[in-house]
Structure 1
Amino acid sequence: MRADAKLKRQKLIEAATEQFRTRTNSEVTLEGIAKDAGVGIATLYRHFPTREDLRLACALNLFDTLDTVLARTVEEFDTDPRGTWEAAIWRLADYGIGVLVGALADEHPRSVDTEVLTKRDQFFARVQLLIDKAAAHGLVAADLEPLEMAAELIVATRPLSATANELFPDVKNRLVRHLITAWRQPVVPGGGA
């Protein structure tokens, strides 16, 4: 692929990721993504024939970004366990991991790209390392599962409609703070904490 084509493709991925991260699915349009990337709609379709192809590229790109963030977090963890843990959670929330929903769920395992499966498994292995380090410092319950953590962050950071954002501008931040607190609590069979 030519350098200018690679650049346009990357701009499309970045514009799409930003829209998927900050807008409800019904508010995201391919035309809007192309406009935000500074290209025509034909260029978008040349790189990504379907919306699903574009989502897949966004997920792969985000996995790469998050892998770098998580690797650095695991390396630096012991210098300031609580600060590093909370900063990592906020980074995950801010990156909008909801873009990964399609890549995290195996509704139709045969239709999931093998590269996505590999990157997903690497992502969860890195998250497990982070959870293990956090658990050793009492920052999370030891039985917190990476998929559970990801699912809860996805739900808490899911884009809201413009109206809901106006009504509840700080809801995402409040929910993430609640999660950080709740993950510290051991889960007791029978419903108690």
Structure 2
Amino acid sequence: MLEDPRDGRVLGRQAEAAANDSRILRAAMEVMTSRPRASMAEVAAEAGVGVASLYRRFSSRDDLARQLALFSMQSVEDQATRALGEVDGDPWGAFLGFLAGAMDGGAGSMRALAGTFPAGEELNAAGRRLGDRMQELLTRCQDLGVVRRDISGFDLLQFFEMLRAVHVTDGERTSGLRRRYLELLAPALRAGDAAPLSAPGPSWQEIVAVWNP
């Protein structure tokens, strides 16, 4: 059966549109996580597109913020899925790789936007899926004896938010400092003879309440 050449053109346009959306969302992450009240014009300037073009893709600033949060969550979930495929060969290496990859993918960055737009059920469900996948990875690492047993996936969400708070004026330097503190703090998550933690970790209800004030 011959292929319709138009199929290739359609797939090409779809791939180009997806790449453009990804570029815009990454630009939006840079702008909106450092300036949560940034305008659509500021995001468009960072992305190198016109404001009209931005509005053709995202109907409003709230829509852009919601899609940005979904994009970030999916990126981190993908990192957790990748680590699950590697964890049996090198449990601690896979876990560290997840932490670093998740930070690069925007983990913790959306905290600055929490409560600035209606989260909605889609975003809440995405957060739940992300928490479940992170917990799956964490439980596997705990069962393999490399991660302490008294932390949860929700602790990791808070861990990422703390690292994301590290910020200086230069973007490359900011990323380097975050990696530095990740390297300093990650050993505290490793299984060993550490004393019990003094307070319980956050619950799902507490996490959701931040996004749905």
Question: What TM-score, normalized by structure 1, do the two folds share?
Answer: 0.76
Q: Does structure 1 residue 79 correspond to structure 2 residue 86?
A: no
TM alignment of 1:140-155, pairs within 5 A = 140-155=147-162
Report if aligned partners of 1:12, 1:37 keep a CA contact under 8 Å in 2: no
Higher relative contact order structure (alpha carbons within 8 Å, sequence separation ≥ 6): 1
- Which residue of 2 is the match for residue 132 of structure 1? 139
Q: CA deviation at 1:131?
A: 0.8
Which residue number corresponds to residue 118 of structure 1? 125
Identity of aligned residues (%): 19
Q: 1:70 and 1:163 mapped to 2: Cα distance?
A: 28
Q: Structure 1 residues 163, 58: closer, same or farther in 2, change over 3 A?
A: closer
- 1: CA distance between counterparts of 2:105 and 2:89? 23
- Residue 97 of structure 1 pairs with residue 107 of structure 2: yes
Aligned to 1:175: 181
- Is contact 1:9–1:47 with CA below 8 Å preserved after alignment? no
> Going by fraction, where is helix more abundant, 1 or 2?
1
Which residue of structure 2 lines up, in the alignment, with residue 69 of structure 1?
79
Distance 2:148 2:55 in 1: 45
Distance 1:82 1:21, change over 3 A: farther
* TM-score computed with the length of structure 2 as normaliser: 0.69
The whole-number CA distance in structure 2 between the counterparts of 1:19 and 1:160 is: 17
Which has the greater radius of gyration?
A: 2
Task: Decide whether aligned partners of structure 1 residues 172 and 119 sit closer, same or farther in structure 2, where only a CA change above 3 A counts.
Answer: same
* Residues 48-100 of structure 1: per-residue CA shift (max 9 Å, x gap): 34333212101212222332222221122101111111111110111121333
How many pairs were matched up? 186
Cα distance per residue 1:126-146 (max 9 Å; x no partner):
000111112123332112121
* AA partner of residue 142 (structure 1): R
Counterpart position of 1:25: 35
**Structure 1 pair 189–120 and aligned structure 2 pair: CA distance change class (3 A):** closer
Which whole-Å CA distance do the structure 2 matches of 1:33 and 1:75 have between them? 36
Query: 2:77, 2:133 within 8 Å by CA — same for their partners in 1?
Result: yes
Tell which deviates more after alignment, 55-64 or 87-96: 55-64
Contact in 2 for aligned 1:82/1:139 (Cα 8 Å): yes
Cα distance in 2 for partners of 1:143, 1:119 equals 24
Unaligned segments of structure 1, at least 5 residues: none
Residue 188 (structure 1) aligns with: 196
Q: 1:187 to 1:20 in 2, by over 3 A?
A: farther
